[in-house]
């Protein structure tokens, strides 16, 4: 086992550290962290609209046998406009907000004016956005929502780098020290802004001669091919998140590009399709399809208690461990684990750099993902049509993300049982190993361990 760990360290650890320090990766990660309040607020209103205000055929309450008269359903549907407006102002503008926060985050890494970089990123995004929907002078919602988020990421990174280059070349207006800082700051961004937006304007103008635009090129060249690689992206995320965590690298944040850039937009497309047709069956009859590897699918059936399905580990400790220290850590980690936060168990047990826990921690997610895919392929569980907050407890997340599917709830609980069974033998082995180590430890070993 030690040779395996050593080999993995040599191959993976330098790569993980290098990726973790890469400024563009950090900018994407930090940008989406700042976007999280917007995402969670939008997700809550989608949940309210698609579950708690829906009583028509195919809805959760309808499947539970609750029937309302047509006038009541119509009145409830009228309230959905509130949630729809919130959706338009949150998840519906993800691609517009992404360049602002990512541009800001990269500018902070480069030690230049972050607010100016963020504002210029938004301006650049809108500069290359076509203002036409049919014959109307308007911006299409498809350019602003989650489906176009890769375009927003690219623009945020590019604009921040261009801004940094221009500032470092000192192509800025310098005002005397007597001028207020806020005024001086505004003038210092004039020349960089003029250069950056001129370039973006020329790009947009040139592309119109080929009857296309920047966003369409990105979708055709990057987003669409990635969408066709759904399984590869999903499996990569499922496997590498816990593997990175084992070496102390926050796997989910390190792979933000796969989550926020690909799988979350797939979830948003599922939601948009469901809202357009009113049910999964109607959408399928119209020839539409749903993404399997939408991020809430993983949150619902794979990341049970957090990366590595560690809620199963906590339960396994309660069942199989007789060590007081293990059980104490499990008690402390349980409240946060219920809500999908697992740092207490990762660092408290610990799992990080724990060779006994490497095998179950890395293998449990692919096994749970395989069960999820099989169940979906057999029609046991429906696709994701809501975006319940990732902090929802195991079972409830699947239940609400699928508009109240009992089968989804039961599969999530079944996967939790599987995760617990996978962890149990390793908990027993870890207990025995720790006990053996303590029995062999002498007073001299303890004294040496306490030396600085």
Per-residue pLDDT tens over the stretch 387-435: 887 778 899 999 989 988 999 999 999 999 999 999 998 888 888 777 7
Q: Which of 299, 253, 285, 292 is CA-nearest to residue 269?
A: 292
Q: Give the ranges where 175-323 is alpha helix by DSSP (H).
A: 181-188, 190-208, 214-218, 224-227, 230-246, 251-254, 256-258, 264-277, 280-285, 295-301, 310-320
pLDDT at residue 293, rounded to an integer:
92
| Average pLDDT taken over every residue of the chain | 84
**Cross-strand partners of 133:** 136
Residues of the chain with pLDDT > 70, as a percent, come to 86
pLDDT at residue 357, rounded to an integer:
84
pLDDT at residue 56, rounded to an integer:
76
Supply φ then ψ for residue 64, to 5 degrees: -85, 5
Mean pLDDT of 25-42: 80
Mean pLDDT of 369-391: 91
Domain positions in the chain: 22-226, 229-438
**What per-residue string of b and e applies to 86-109 under the rule 16 or more CB within 10 Å gives b?**
bbeebbbbbbbbbbbbbbbbbbbb
Report the distance separating Cα 340 and Cα 400, nearest Å.
15
pLDDT at residue 303, rounded to an integer:
95
pLDDT at residue 225, rounded to an integer:
67
Mean pLDDT of 343-353: 79
Distance from the Cα of residue 70 to its chain's centroid: 38
pLDDT at 220 over 90: no
More confident residue, 42 or 79: 79
More confident residue, 126 or 439: 126
The torsion angle over the Cα atoms of residues 114, 118, 123 and 129, rounded to 10 degrees, is: 150
Collect contacts of 378-381 with beta carbons under 8 A, ≥24 apart.
Answer: 380/407, 380/411, 381/405, 381/407, 381/408, 381/411
pLDDT at residue 58, rounded to an integer:
58
pLDDT at 17 over 80: no
pLDDT at residue 254, rounded to an integer:
66
Label residue 449 by pLDDT band (50, 70, 90).
very low
More confident residue, 256 or 334: 334
Supply φ then ψ for residue 404, to 5 degrees: 85, 35
- What residues contact residue 45 under an 8 Å CB cut-off, 6+ apart? 82, 83, 86, 87, 90
pLDDT at residue 226, rounded to an integer:
60
Tokens of 41: 């607020």
Label residue 249 by pLDDT band (50, 70, 90).
low
Q: Which of 102, 196, 200 is CA-nearest to residue 149?
A: 102
pLDDT at residue 6, rounded to an integer:
61
pLDDT at residue 9, rounded to an integer:
54
pLDDT at 236 over 50: yes
pLDDT at residue 451, rounded to an integer:
44
Label residue 2 by pLDDT band (50, 70, 90).
low
DSSP 145-196: SGGGHHHHHHHHHHHHHHHHHHHHTT-SPPPPTTS-HHHHHHHHTHHHHHHH
Supply φ then ψ for residue 136, to 5 degrees: -85, 150
pLDDT at residue 450, rounded to an integer:
38
SS3 percent helix, strand, coil of the chain, rounded to 5, is 75, 0, 25
Residues of the chain with pLDDT > 90, as a percent, come to 42
Among 9-18, 246-255, 260-269, 351-360, top mean pLDDT goes to 260-269
pLDDT at residue 131, rounded to an integer:
94
pLDDT at 259 over 50: yes
pLDDT at residue 302, rounded to an integer:
96
pLDDT at residue 406, rounded to an integer:
93
Element (H, E) at 88: helix 70-89
Contact 384, 267 (CB under 8 A): yes
pLDDT at 352 over 80: no
- What residues contact residue 36 under an 8 Å CB cut-off, 6+ apart? none
pLDDT at 240 over 80: yes
**363 burial level (CB within 10 Å; 0-12, 13-18, 19+):** middle
pLDDT at 64 over 70: no
pLDDT at 446 over 50: no
Mean pLDDT of 69-98: 90
């Amino acid at each position: 086992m030690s040779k395996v760990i050593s080999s993995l360290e040599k191959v993976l650890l330098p790569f993980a550290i290098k990726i973790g320090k890469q400024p563009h990766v950090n900018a994407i990660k930090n940008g989406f962290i700042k976007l999280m309040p917007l995402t969670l607020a939008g997700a809550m209103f989608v949940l309210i609209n698609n579950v708690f205000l829906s009583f028509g055929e195919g809805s959760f309450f309808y499947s539970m046998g609750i029937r309302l008269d047509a006038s009541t359903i119509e009145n409830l549907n009228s309230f959905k406009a509130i949630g729809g407006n919130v959706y338009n102002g949150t998840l519906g503008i993800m691609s517009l907000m992404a360049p602002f926060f990512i541009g800001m985050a990269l500018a902070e890494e480069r030690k230049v004016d972050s607010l100016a970089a963020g504002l210029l990123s938004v301006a650049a995004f809108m500069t290359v956005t076509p203002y036409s929907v049919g014959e109307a002078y308007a911006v299409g919602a498809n350019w602003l929502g989650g489906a176009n988020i890769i375009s927003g990421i690219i623009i945020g990174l590019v604009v921040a780098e261009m801004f940094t280059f221009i500032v470092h070349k000192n192509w800025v207006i310098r005002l005397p020290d007597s001028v207020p800082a806020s005024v001086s700051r505004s003038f210092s961004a004039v020349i960089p802004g003029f250069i950056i937006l001129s370039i973006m304007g020329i790009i947009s103008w040139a592309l119109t001669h080929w009857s296309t635009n920047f966003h369409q090129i990105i979708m055709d060249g990057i987003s669409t091919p990635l969408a066709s690689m759904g399984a590869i992206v999903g499996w990569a995320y499922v496997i590498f998140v816990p593997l990175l965590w084992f070496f102390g690298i926050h796997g989910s944040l390190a792979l933000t590009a796969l989550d926020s850039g690909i799988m979350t937009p797939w979830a948003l497309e599922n939601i948009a399709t469901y809202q357009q047709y009113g049910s999964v069956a109607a959408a399928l009859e119209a020839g539409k399809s749903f993404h399997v590897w939408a991020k809430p699918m993983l949150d619902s059936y794979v990341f049970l208690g957090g990366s590595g399905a560690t809620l199963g580990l906590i339960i396994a400790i309660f069942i199989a461990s007789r060590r007081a220290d293990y059980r104490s850590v499990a008690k402390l980690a349980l409240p946060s684990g219920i809500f999908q936060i697992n740092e207490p168990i990762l660092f408290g047990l610990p799992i990080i750099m724990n060779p006994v826990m490497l095998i179950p921690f890395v293998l449990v997610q692919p096994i749970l993902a395989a069960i999820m895919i099989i169940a979906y392929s057999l029609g046991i569980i429906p696709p994701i049509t809501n975006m319940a907050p990732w902090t929802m407890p195991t079972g409830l997340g699947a239940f609400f993300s699928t508009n109240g599917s009992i089968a989804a709830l039961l599969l999530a609980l079944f996967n939790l049982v599987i995760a617990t069974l996978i962890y149990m033998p390793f908990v027993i082995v870890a207990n025995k190993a720790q006990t053996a180590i303590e029995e062999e430890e002498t007073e001299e070993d303890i004294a040496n361990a306490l030396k600085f």
